[in-house]
Chain A
Amino acid sequence: MASLIAGGVDCDVHPAVPHLTSLLPYLNDYWRDQVTTRGMVDLVSQSYPQNSPIVARPDWRPESGKPGESLDDMRRHVLDPFQLSYAICNPLYGVQMVFSEDLQAAFCRALNDWLVKEWLDRDKRLRGSIVIPTQSVEKAVAEIERCAQDKRFVQVLMLVMGDTPLGKRALWPIYEAAERLELPVGVHAGSAYHNPPTAVGWGSYHIEDYVGQAQAFQTQLTSLIVEGVFAKYPRLKMVMLESGVSWISPYLWRLHKFWRGVRMETPWVDRAPLDIVRSNIRFSLQPFDAPPDEATLIRLFDHMQSDELVLFSTDYPHWQFEGQDALPEGLTPDLVRKIMIENPHATYPRLK
């Protein structure tokens, strides 16, 4: 494995909400009463069933409670041993599955406040992502503006599978706010399950949902690019989180070919898709979905024709690698420095 360097930025760690009741102190009286009198249950998404092997590395799985719910564990497992300068917290608590925009907005607000109090306030290496209630774009923008006052929030977080393709114009006020406030939009694996998790309906298995995340990212990139999000918001950065990376180049070769063929359909796309991705889109490193051999890795990175696309991540506590082997074999020291330090800082202007 390539050698880690100190001072890196881990762009994808997952602090877990222990239970819905953990958010009660952050809800107002009305919502606290709703949660308790209606017997609302813990919001654990099928994207990440708690006991699934992929959801926690065996040596990172606590004896009790949810993987990722303890700050001490996170320090012991990643922050200290990887000698990180920063780790960006992307809570995967299943608030996106809620359909009511009011309830979702209350949960998102509580989740963001919980993150500040329980995590960001307790370790100065931690940074946060703003989870937004996408059932209402207006409420989502309000939540972004509220949280952005705290500079420790460094990005907006959305799921890769939601109600509509992410390029849809109705969502653009979110992107306007993100660009204005220097917040990249992180798009994380996972579904709100408001649509079937594949283009051909509902598969049978958890493994199918997980493999399928990569296809979801591909369709979202197409949507974001062809709807013209980056023509309208050229300074907006988007980060594909837990997306996989080995599909990027072949996918772009296909998109680029069709764009050349039918670009008259979307004349507002003012640059080639390949160029848009190189300037505006980034990808987190783990899960690194290529075989563990150096020759393949070298070809994959060469196909990208850019050393700026990939950002370091451990995906803690998910089980993507063993020991300290977060960096796949074959990365040069220069590329390690780009991935671990320079690319994250270039992507997240609030990291300081």
Chain B
Amino acid sequence: MNIQFRESQEAASPLTVKTAIADCDIHPARATRTELYPYLAKRWQHHLEVYGVHAYQGMTEGPPYPKAQPNASRRDAYPPEGGPQGSSLSFMQKQLLDPNNVQLGVLNPLNTGQGIRNHELSAALCSAINDWQIDKWTSKDKRLKASIVVGNEDGLSAAAEIRERAGDKNFVQVLLLSRNVEPLGQRRYWPIYQAAEEAGLPVGVHAFGFGGNPITPSGWPSYYIEEMVGHSQCQQSALASLVLEGVFERFPKLKMVMIEAGFGWAPSLAWRLDKTWQRLRSEVPHVKRPPSEYIREQVWWTTQPMEDPERREDLFDVINWIGWDRLLFATDYPHWDYDEPSRVLPAGVSEVNREAFYLGNARALYGIG
């Protein structure tokens, strides 16, 4: 499918004026294995050479479920100067930012310092990737904004990294991954929410990562597709935990963004939480309001990968249930399941909703002009 998208882009005249959009999920990559070394103490450079990253999974390189294509990325996204997909700013500008008139691009670096068992190394790598985002990307293209990557399993060092970056306009959110050692509502993660709330930054939870748990409650599945589809179930469990542990009640200004896990599941999860909470609320007295209210007020969703009904207009029901003001358009560039901005919404959307979906909601959430 990505090959077709490339053809459609090349067919478009560079002079065509497109409506400005926000792309709330862009994945910048390192061009070389050692590109972060200038931002790392010698100790950690040495550590990486000898011991590697020691993640919450068995493979020293790459994921245990082989992706469907190299780096899970579009085959047309290799930069002409070499390096993996997503590693060249100039090619990202040419392939993504310029032709789609991306006014705001939110960077979500993956394979960084998250999901690593050595929490000191995790913190060092996260700090390094944050410096790298400024040097290589946001300082060179004002359309791009960075996410503060934090060592997700150590709430205290994560909070310190957030406080260090707070107020720096290069950053617009804190980034967590969805697969963690424990459900995200657990107390070990609260310092992250507290620091983010203080800094006025949303916390994005991007699908993927490693936390040592099987991606099903029945153990490890066999296939990449099960992991891919499973990210939405994983995200639902994380969101349920955030609600039921009272995180939204305790941090009422906290805003969470569910990134790259779909959104079609959101109404059903909220209904189920409400119905079950009516029965079992005496177990969780700290959850003072129906769960759907916290979700409606404090949670946003990026759109890619959009659920794809047979009758595409069925998606409007789901969006109406969630609220048109809560979706943030994203392409997931340069990954293979990229959503093409001009094709992603079925016909029949009002101008107001279209503008909110593609740009307005993101600008409001991330506080960009």
User: A interface vs B, CB < 8 Å?
Assistant: 52-54, 160-168, 191, 194-208, 210-212, 214-216, 218-220, 222-223, 226-227, 244, 246-247, 249-251, 253-262, 264-266, 274, 287, 289-291, 296, 299, 302-303, 305, 319
When distances are taken between beta carbons in the complex, the residues of chain A under 8 Å from B95 are none
| Pick from A203, A223, A257: contact of B221, CB under 8 Å | A223
Residue B284 lies at the interface, judged by CB distance under 8 Å to chain A? yes
When distances are taken between beta carbons in the complex, the residues of chain B under 8 Å from A226 are 222-223, 225-226
Is the beta-carbon distance between A254 and B232 smaller than 8 angstroms? yes
When distances are taken between beta carbons in the complex, the residues of chain B under 8 Å from A197 are 217
When distances are taken between beta carbons in the complex, the residues of chain B under 8 Å from A206 are 280, 283
**Closest CB in chain A relative to B216 CB, distance in Å:** 4
Is the beta-carbon distance between A265 and B224 smaller than 8 angstroms? yes
Is the beta-carbon distance between B309 and A253 smaller than 8 angstroms? yes
Task: List the one stretch of B142-150, B179-187, B195-203 in contact with chain A.
Answer: B179-187
When distances are taken between beta carbons in the complex, the residues of chain B under 8 Å from A262 are 68, 224-225, 228
When distances are taken between beta carbons in the complex, the residues of chain B under 8 Å from A168 are 222
When distances are taken between beta carbons in the complex, the residues of chain B under 8 Å from A218 are 229, 232-233
| Pick from B218, B267, B307: contact of A219, CB under 8 Å | B218
Bound-state Cα–Cα, A287 to B179, Å:
28
User: B interface vs A, CB < 8 Å?
Assistant: 1, 68, 178-186, 211, 213-226, 228-230, 232-234, 236-238, 240-241, 244-245, 262, 264-265, 267-269, 271-277, 279-280, 282-284, 305-311, 314-315, 317-318, 321, 336-337
When distances are taken between beta carbons in the complex, the residues of chain A under 8 Å from B317 are 299, 303
When distances are taken between beta carbons in the complex, the residues of chain A under 8 Å from B241 are 198, 200, 203-204, 208
Chain B residue, CB-CB nearest to A263 = B225
Bound-state Cα–Cα, A168 to B182, Å:
26
Bound-state Cα–Cα, A145 to B272, Å:
37
Is the beta-carbon distance between A250 and B264 smaller than 8 angstroms? yes
| Pick from B183, B232, B234: contact of A208, CB under 8 Å | B183
Is the beta-carbon distance between B268 and A223 smaller than 8 angstroms? no
When distances are taken between beta carbons in the complex, the residues of chain B under 8 Å from A211 are 240, 244, 269, 272-273, 276
When distances are taken between beta carbons in the complex, the residues of chain B under 8 Å from A255 are 229
When distances are taken between beta carbons in the complex, the residues of chain B under 8 Å from A265 are 68, 223-225
Bound-state Cα–Cα, A253 to B269, Å:
16
Bound-state Cα–Cα, A258 to B127, Å:
34
Assuming the contacts A199-B216, A265-B223, asked whether A244 and B272 have C-beta atoms less than 8 A apart, the reply is yes
| Pick from A205, A215, A266: contact of B225, CB under 8 Å | A266
When distances are taken between beta carbons in the complex, the residues of chain A under 8 Å from B277 are 207
When distances are taken between beta carbons in the complex, the residues of chain A under 8 Å from B234 are 198-200, 215
Is the beta-carbon distance between B218 and A220 smaller than 8 angstroms? yes
Is the beta-carbon distance between A319 and B279 smaller than 8 angstroms? yes
Which 3 pairs of residues, A with B, have the shortest CB-CB distance?
A250-B264, A198-B237, A219-B216
Bound-state Cα–Cα, A53 to B284, Å:
13
When distances are taken between beta carbons in the complex, the residues of chain B under 8 Å from A264 are 68
Is the beta-carbon distance between A205 and B269 smaller than 8 angstroms? no
Is the beta-carbon distance between A216 and B307 smaller than 8 angstroms? no
| Pick from B218, B238, B306: contact of A216, CB under 8 Å | B218
When distances are taken between beta carbons in the complex, the residues of chain A under 8 Å from B225 are 222, 226, 258-259, 262, 265-266
Is the beta-carbon distance between B215 and A219 smaller than 8 angstroms? yes
**Closest CB in chain A relative to B325 CB, distance in Å:** 19
Bound-state Cα–Cα, A294 to B336, Å:
39
Assuming the contacts A53-B279, A54-B279, asked whether A305 and B180 have C-beta atoms less than 8 A apart, the reply is no
Bound-state Cα–Cα, A183 to B217, Å:
25
Is the beta-carbon distance between A249 and B309 smaller than 8 angstroms? yes
When distances are taken between beta carbons in the complex, the residues of chain B under 8 Å from A207 are 244, 276-277, 280, 283-284
Bound-state Cα–Cα, A79 to B328, Å:
50
Is the beta-carbon distance between A216 and B182 smaller than 8 angstroms? no
Is the beta-carbon distance between A195 and B268 smaller than 8 angstroms? no
Is the beta-carbon distance between A53 and B282 smaller than 8 angstroms? yes
**Closest CB in chain B relative to A175 CB, distance in Å:** 16
**Closest CB in chain A relative to B218 CB, distance in Å:** 5
When distances are taken between beta carbons in the complex, the residues of chain B under 8 Å from A210 are 276, 280
| Pick from A160, A191, A204, A250: contact of B318, CB under 8 Å | A250
User: Can you sample 23 A-B contacts with CB below 8 Å?
Assistant: A161-B218, A164-B220, A165-B222, A191-B217, A199-B216, A200-B184, A204-B245, A205-B284, A211-B269, A212-B217, A212-B237, A215-B234, A216-B218, A219-B216, A220-B216, A244-B272, A254-B232, A261-B1, A261-B337, A289-B271, A289-B272, A291-B274, A302-B314
Assuming the contacts A262-B225, A287-B275, asked whether A204 and B218 have C-beta atoms less than 8 A apart, the reply is no
